[in-house]
Amino acid sequence: MPSSDHATPEELVVACAKGDRKALKRLYDQESPRLFGLALRIVRQHSAAADAVQDAFLQIWLKAALFDPTRGSARAWMAGIVRYRALDTVKRNTREMLCNEPLHPEIAEDFDPLAALAANDDSTRLHACLEALEEPKRRAILLAFTDGLSHSEVADRIAAPLGTVKAWIRRGMISLKACVEQ
């Protein structure tokens, strides 16, 4: 593993795959604040978000050998794991979670996922591809993937028919994949 304290997430995940516990700690220290923000946007409760991130890092440790840098960045891979853990948390809690705590300042209601994405050098291409999508497709994809909303929740939020929203998300994801792979 690189001796620098500024190892990339990719290098740290590879080190985790080799059983390096210090790499996991460094990865957690570097990435957990951002991943906590993602989980909090989905579950809307601090303790549930913290649990989702903890569960995700256990999965990251156990599945680090499955990470393939040719398929995407380590940050995107980890964000996917956190997103699924957070969505699992929401599904497990059949009652609606009401958030009495203020939102984490990094993810206030006026949080702009596209601006945050643009600020990340690793995702410049994805940001450009998202910008190229038609507004309804882009908004539906962002609501589904950054806010963790289901298709029906997206349809309710943007006042569009469910079938239309499903088509927008599916076609938008196909367009995004083609654009990113160019």
DSSP 137-162: HHHHHHHHHHS---HHHHHHHHT--H
Q: Where are the domains of the chain?
A: 1-95, 111-182
Given pLDDT bands bounded at 50, 70 and 90, which one contains residue 22? very high
- ∠ CA 59-54-33 to the nearest 5 degrees? 115
134 torsion bin: left (phi>0), alpha (psi -120 to 50), beta (else): beta
**Rounded to whole angstroms, how far apart are CA atoms 124 and 127?**
5
Task: Note the pLDDT tens digit of each residue in 59-84.
Answer: 999 999 999 888 888 998 999 999 98
Instruction: Please tell me the pTM assigned to this model.
Output: 0.57
- Contacts for 150 with CB less than 8 Å, ≥ 6 apart: 144
Pick the CATH number of 111-182 from 3.40.50.620, 1.10.10.10, 1.10.357.10, 3.30.1490.100: 1.10.10.10
Given pLDDT bands bounded at 50, 70 and 90, which one contains residue 96? very low
Q: Is residue 114 within 8 Å of residue 130, measured between CB atoms?
A: yes
CA dihedral (6, 122, 59, 175) in degrees, to 10, reads: 180
| Model pLDDT, residue 116 | 57
Percent of all residues in the chain with a pLDDT value above 70, rounded to a whole number: 80
Classify domain 1-95 at the CATH topology level. Answer: Rna Polymerase Sigma Factor; Chain: A (1.10.1740)
| Model pLDDT, residue 88 | 85
Q: Is residue 137 within 8 Å of residue 177, measured between CB atoms?
A: no
Three-class secondary structure of residue 91 per DSSP: helix
Q: Is residue 13 within 8 Å of residue 68, measured between CB atoms?
A: no
